Amino acid sequence: MAQEDSFLYALSSNNAWAGYKAHQNPNFFPKLASGQAPQILWLGCSDSRCPETTILGLQPGDVFVHRCIANIVSATDINTSAAIEFAVAHLRVAHVVLCGHSACGGALATVGRARLGGVLDTWLTPLRAIHAAHEEELAGIKDEGARAVRIAELNVEAGVAVLMANGVVQDAVRERGLEVHGCFFDLASGRIRDLGFGTKRGVRVAGGNGEEVRGRHAQLVFRGGNASMAVR
C-alpha cells in the first residue's frame, strides 16, 4: 500500500469506526468530550506494535499515555515528568504502569552494540549503562533475542526505580495508595506479565532465562474501566 493510500485508508477506517461507535452507543462521544478520568497512566514504548488501549482491551478515555523510544524513564526528561505529574497529581490515576516489550529495537541495538547515530545514541545511553552494569549476566545469554528481552526487563526495573523516587509519585503512594507496576508485553503471545517491580511484589523473572519464579503471582485485571491486582 502506497504511503498516501495508507493515510487515506486510515481516515476511511476512522470514519467507519466513529460511525460504528456512535451507532453502538450514542452517548459515547459526548461523554468522551465532557472530560477524562482514566484510572491508569501507561508509560510504554513508541513501537507501533504496542498500542496500549488495544492490547489492554480498553477504550478511549481509560488510559492516560506517555510513550517514548525504548520506554526509558529519565528523571531529567521534562516531557515524561510532565505526563507523570499531570496524570498523578491532577487526574489522580490509581495505577502507573511502566511496560517494556519483546523485540524492542532499542534493546536489540544495545545488546548488539550498534550505533544508530544522532540523538538516538544519546537517548539510549541509559540502556547502555544498564548493559555495562549487567554485562556478565547478559554475556551468559547466548541468544540475542533472549538477551534483548533480559535487558528490556532490567530497563523496566530501572525505570520503576526512577518512578518510585519521583516526589509526586511518592506523595500519591503515601497519601492515597497509588500503585506502580513494572510489566512486560510479549509480542509473540500478546500477553502482559507483571515483573514484580513497584509498590507490589508479583512475578519475578529468573536471571535471563525467561522462566518465572513460582509463588504468589500478581496479574493486572481490568473491568469496566477500573484496574485491580489479582494475586493467585
Task: Give me the amino acid identity at 82.
Answer: A
Active site residue 101: yes
Q: Is 23 a catalytic residue?
A: no
- Cα–Cα distance between 181 and 200 in angstroms, integer? 7
Three-class DSSP category at 228: strand
Cα–Cα distance, 50 to 185 (Å, whole number): 8
Catalytic residue among 66, 101, 147, 193: 101
Whether residue 194 is annotated as binding a ligand: the answer is no
Q: Residue 101 annotated as binding? A: yes
User: 143 catalytic, yes or no?
Assistant: no
Which residue out of 50, 68, 104, 183 is catalytically annotated?
104
Task: Tell whether residue 104 is among the known ligand binding residues.
Answer: yes
Selection from 56, 93, 82, 83 nearest residue 173 by Cα = 93
| Alpha-carbon distances of 200 from 40, 56, 82, 178, rounded to whole Å | 16, 20, 24, 11
> Rounded CA gap, 227 and 54, in Å?
15
Q: Which of 45, 50, 99, 183 is catalytic?
A: 45
Among this protein's residues, is 49 annotated catalytic?
Answer: yes
Check if 50 is active-site. Answer: no
- Say if residues 212 and 184 touch (Cβ distance below 8 Å): no
Helices and strands counted in the chain (H then E): 10, 7
Which residues are known catalytic residues?
Answer: 45, 47, 49, 101, 104
Annotated binding site: 45, 47, 101, 104
Annotated binding site for Zn(2+): 45, 47, 101, 104
